[in-house]
Amino acid sequence: MIDEAALRRSAEIYAQGADRKDKQLWRSVLANDCRIEGPGFVTEGLEATLMSIDGLAQMFRSTFHRVHNQTVMIDGDRASGETYCTADHLLNDADQILRWTIRYLDEWRRDGDAWRFTRRKLELLWEEMVPVTVRHG
């Protein structure tokens, strides 16, 4: 159960890093040879993947990721599984969010005491535009 909790925590830290635009958080859960892929994009390697945080900051005023259910299979120092997520992206030019319903196909490798993503494939199940009232202050 300790490994399962650590794998879930890695997904939560990844989500938090995206929302805070915090490259150090991502660095703590991504392997140097990570590959992240999704609709219309692929990044390979840690440094290239960290640059995608800059893209998020330019494309959206804010994001809010929620990690839902996760199933994992552990085989020694490797693990694979699925992580469900909802990601809200507050648009720059309108009080609307682009909401993605996501299934990540994940692979991890144990690196010392930490589990790090070696691969995340983002499967976009559906998306919706939702009007919101933005509160400032």
Say which CATH architecture domain 2-131 belongs to. Roll (3.10)
Residue boundaries of the structural domains of the chain = 2-131
Q: Identify the pLDDT of residue 2.
A: 87
What pTM value is reported for the model? 0.95
Q: Identify the pLDDT of residue 100.
A: 98
Q: Identify the pLDDT of residue 135.
A: 85
HSE-CB for 109 with a 13 A CA cutoff = 9
**Bridge partners of residue 91, in order along the sequence:** 60
CA 16 – CA 124 distance, rounded (Å): 19
Task: Walk along the chain (137 residues) in steps of 10 and give the mean pLDDT of each run.
Answer: 94 98 98 97 97 94 97 98 98 96 99 96 98 83
